[in-house]
Amino acid sequence: MTDAATAEPEVLIGKHGGVGRIVLNRPKAINALNHTMVARIAPALAEWAGDDEVRAVLITGAGERGLCAGGDIVSIYHDAKEGGTGSREFWRDEYLLNAAIANYPKPYVAIMDGIVMGGGVGVSAHGSVRVVTERSMIGMPETGIGFVPDVGGTYLLARTPGELGTHIALTTARLSAGDAIACGFADHYIPSGKIDAFVEALATSSVEEALAACTEPAPESDLLAQQDWIDAAYSADSVAEIVARLQASGVPEAAKAAEQVLAKSPTACAVTLASLRRARVAGSLEEVLNEEFRVSVACLGSADLVEGIRAQVVDKDRNPHWSPATIDEVTDATVATFFAPLGDLELGLTAPTTTGDQQ
């Protein structure tokens, strides 16, 4: 399958200088991820894991706009409207890929330049070497379309300093390079002008040497500097209480955050908060991915996912009509239904076991 605009494969896979190269190749769609792309990446990674010629893997995005804008949500919209199963099977393979990246036996280098959202985070932030630039804009925008952070995103968000991850998830805040490193979504800062040199260095030297030659001190994190009011508000046990604390804090940024949360799907926000709290005590990424799969499948049958994508991407009126319309109307019983077991449809991931190492 090819992108009609380029007549090229949607993902380019090859080897260069001992590096397995993955290039997401849908630049007009900011390299949005679809099932075809996932189905090509996974076997390549599996093959390279046992290929002595491959020292490391590198994933980048074609074009100037970003690594990956997320999953192909227009396809998800049509699938949800028609009651299909295509999205469920896409997520199944996508989450399996996320786990494979997290456990990859060789350096997995992700260039998180430009826009990196949703599914883009899934194919980069679980890697062992995560590079950001001054152009990086990273986020989990799911609550804005009636969805819940997935691709192992709740695992990452739940492990940020304090309650920063809760703020990011509920407001869909965008992370700068400094924010991403402070929040554990990235490791190294390389200015965009040095990325080409870094990629070439990977082909002629070790990952460590390439990093040493190109990395610079990371910018400060504006988000980390606001942790006091964020922790005070987002440590609450419900979205309604979080909003109340934000509104009462007297901090202008907190008041803005309250407005942002209130604009998102009330159901998605409530389920997201529950997902984050559960992910915080989970023993492994695999456990979290299993639960995210349950939640994603449940979202397919929810009115808010179709309505959210319609308002943001299809009709673009930016005026979603959420059901229920307010956070006070979302019951604990409704939230619980999103975590119901799927029986034979479960994702079924198990954490890898290493002799003498308890995960």
Helices (H), the chain: 35-49, 73-82, 86-102, 119-122, 153-157, 164-171, 177-182, 195-204, 207-214, 227-234, 239-248, 252-263, 266-280, 285-300, 303-309, 332-337
Task: Name the residues annotated as catalytic.
Answer: 71, 119, 142, 150
How many CA atoms, within 13 angstroms, populate the side-chain half-sphere of residue 95? 31
pLDDT over 50 (residue 355):
no
pLDDT score for 356: 43
Q: What is the pLDDT of residues 321-354, one digit of tens each?
A: 999 999 999 999 999 999 999 999 999 999 998 6
Q: What is the pLDDT of residues 161-173, one digit of tens each?
A: 999 999 999 999 9
Tell me if residue 123 falls in helix, strand or coil. Answer: coil
User: Would you list the DSSP string of 271-298?
Assistant: HHHHHHHHHHT-S-HHHHHHHHHHHHHH
Cβ atoms 199, 60 nearer than 8 A? yes
Tell me if residue 180 falls in helix, strand or coil. Answer: helix
- What is this structure's pTM? 0.95
pLDDT over 90 (residue 2):
no
How many whole angstroms separate alpha carbon 345 and alpha carbon 26?
Answer: 31
Q: What is the pLDDT of residues 98-144, one digit of tens each?
A: 999 999 999 999 999 999 999 999 999 999 999 999 999 999 999 99
Q: Which residue from 114, 245, 124, 218 is spatially nearest to 174, judged by alpha carbons?
A: 114
Cβ atoms 15, 21 nearer than 8 A? yes
Burial class (CB in 10 A: 0-12, 13-18, 19+), 261: buried
Which residue in this structure is represented by tokens 């909003």?
243
Q: What is the pLDDT of residues 29-83, one digit of tens each?
A: 999 999 999 999 999 999 999 999 999 999 999 999 999 999 999 999 999 999 9
Give 3-state DSSP helix, strand, coil % of the chain, rounded to 5: 50, 15, 35
pLDDT score for 6: 45
Question: In what side-by-side order are the strands of the sheet with 66-68?
Answer: 66-68, 115-117, 137-139
**Residues 6+ away with beta carbon under 8 Å from 64:** 27, 114
pLDDT score for 357: 43
How many whole angstroms separate alpha carbon 200 and alpha carbon 37?
Answer: 25
How many whole angstroms separate alpha carbon 65 and alpha carbon 114?
Answer: 5
Count Cβ atoms below 10 Å from residue 135 Cβ, excluding itself: 17
Which residue in this structure is represented by tokens 């990093």?
211
Pairing mode of beta strands 11-16, 8-9: unpaired
